[in-house]
A = this chain, B = another copy of it.
Amino acid sequence: MSSAVPKVPITVAIGDGIGPEIMSQTLRVLEAAGAALAPEFIEVGEAVYRAGNSSGIGPEAWESLKRTRVLLKAPITTPLGGGYKSLNVTLRKTLGLYANVRPCRSLHPAVATRHPDLDVVIIRENEEDLYAGIEHQQTPDVVQCLKLVSRSGCEKIVRFAFEYARRHGRRRITCMTKDNIMKLTDGLFHRVFMEIGRQYPDIAQDHQIIDIGAARLADTPERYDVVVTMNLYGDIISDIVAQLTGSVGLAGSSNVGDQGALFEAIHGSAPDIAGQNIANPSGLLQAAVLMLGHLGQHEVAARIHNAWLCALEDGLHTADIYRAGTSRTKVSTTEFADAVIARLGRGPQQLAAMPALPVAAPPPSAIETPLYGKVPVEQQLVGVDVFLRWDGKRAATLGQELEALTGHRLQLKLITNRGVKVYPDGHPETFCTDHWRCRFVAADARIHGAQLDFTRVSFIDVLTLLHRLADCQLYVIKTEHLYLMDGARAFSLGQGE
């Protein structure tokens, strides 16, 4: 088998914690099954961080990745705190792997689960949202993280999800966001879902607010088919669904982009059980199966998957899924790999076997962003939110000071503290930090309640205002410009405004 097919170079990262032991067993199974692979090993993760590379990945590793465009990666440990960035996030974002795909299926009755009929695919946006990791401490009291969402990013992941559903014979896609609160960011994701969804009338579609959506998913995952969602929500619900199949140790995931693909187990590096030969290699093995599919080696993928199902059906279970009654023998990491290898060529009795037929994967470049960049947008500056550190307590004092210093091109519209309006007409009950958002609009803008007739201001007007604030010893910590986009207000009101 392996002699007939040219070996495909792949990049392999053995990871931290339980990573090395589950990777070595996964590679043993791949070799025994006749996968045509030429692994290049790279060093990433904790050792690289500790050696002084805060991104956790060195130049040689990037070289290999750019050659192979395929990475099989065991879990790595991001040191907590300090200046370390998550390597997973760096890899996904640098390589443009915008789609994280996690198929989760219960293996009842082989593996104990409360949800025998669970068969859900979570498609998670993989590059944006709070995972940009852009954080700034702005005052002694207040720290900020930026949540960034782009139309192009939303269009790519939503398009991908619909294409995935159609290709895999899935019938329903549920979109989850929190757009009752985050009307602009999450609202954009929801809106793009509806826009693109109209092109797929063959697929049932609905939207759920993430809180109640996650609750229903946790309670009755059988009711769901494909879920597409934003990065943070996807992170949470994909772990929930995987856990409900019986263990997060059973699932692999693919991270797919236009420029490459990364395959990994969905669990972490579990340093508490590292080196004990008790970890479940199934997640990484499933990742390898997804990788073989991606590389067109479907027959080998099916051979491994079916032998794996067979071993699970035979009740050979690692500690994480071992349950008296369901399981027969508690096995080690290596024993489980032995069991899979011994069953190569066999298939499951009760569980559905994977067919060896190649599934046609459309090239990722088929994913086009339908609207972004194709329609010019007129962007017009109409004001600025200036954020101040101010150690006083009475908002009216600050408000009056700001009213007094203006009298030029900009006027104070309101002040909020943690998003709540505190001036004018604040409530003394509102707890205030040392972090004040002061909204300025054009002096000739007409304000009646929340209705504004905005008029254009210039960036030079904003700079003049900032100079005046500095002259008055007011401590500016940041700015956010206020824009109309094609004439419509493109910023949120203050809470209570």
Contact = CB atoms under 8 A, between A and B. Distances in A.
Interface of A: 52-55, 57, 62, 66, 78, 80-86, 89-90, 93-96, 98, 114, 127-128, 130-153, 178-185, 187-188, 210-212, 214-216, 218-219, 232-233, 235-236, 238-240, 242-244, 248, 257-260, 268, 372-373, 376-377, 379, 385, 389, 416, 418-420, 427, 429-431, 433, 435, 437, 449-450, 459-460, 463, 466-467, 470, 476-483, 485, 489-497
- Please indicate which of the listed interface residues A372, A429, A489 has the most CB atoms of chain B within 10 Å of its own CB: A429
B96 A429 contact: yes
19 contacts: A55-B497, A62-B427, A80-B187, A83-B450, A85-B495, A86-B180, A95-B429, A135-B185, A137-B490, A139-B379, A140-B485, A143-B149, A145-B182, A150-B435, A211-B235, A215-B239, A463-B466, A478-B480, A479-B479
A89 B181 contact: yes
Contacts of A131: 181, 419
Contacts of A188: 143
A246 to B, nearest CB: 9
A489 B132 contact: no
**How many monomers of this chain does the complex have?**
2
A208 B480 CA distance: 34
Given A146-B146, A427-B62, A493-B54, A218 B235 contact: no
Among A131, A152, A218, A478, the most chain B Cβ lie within 10 Å of the Cβ of: A218
A429 B142 contact: no
Contacts of A214: 214, 236, 239-240
B151 A495 contact: no
B136 A496 contact: no
A241 B83 CA distance: 35
A493 B85 contact: yes
B430 A94 contact: yes
A93 B430 CA distance: 7
A491 B135 contact: yes
Contacts of A431: 96, 98, 127, 152-153, 257-258
Given A132-B418, A218-B218, A478-B478, 20 more contacts: A54-B497, A55-B496, A85-B492, A93-B430, A94-B429, A114-B219, A127-B418, A131-B419, A134-B416, A136-B490, A137-B184, A140-B373, A140-B377, A141-B151, A141-B152, A143-B184, A143-B490, A178-B235, A215-B244, A478-B480
Kindly name the residue among A52, A138, A150, A497 whose own CB sees the greatest number of chain B CB atoms within 10 A. Answer: A150
B218 A244 contact: yes
Given A182-B135, A379-B389, A497-B55, A148 B483 contact: no
Contacts of A132: 418-420, 495
Contacts of A459: 466, 470, 476
Nearest to A98: B431
A145 B143 contact: no
Given A150-B142, A481-B136, A497-B54, A268 B185 contact: no
A387 to B, nearest CB: 9
A490 B54 CA distance: 16
A12 B183 CA distance: 28
Contacts of A493: 54, 83, 85
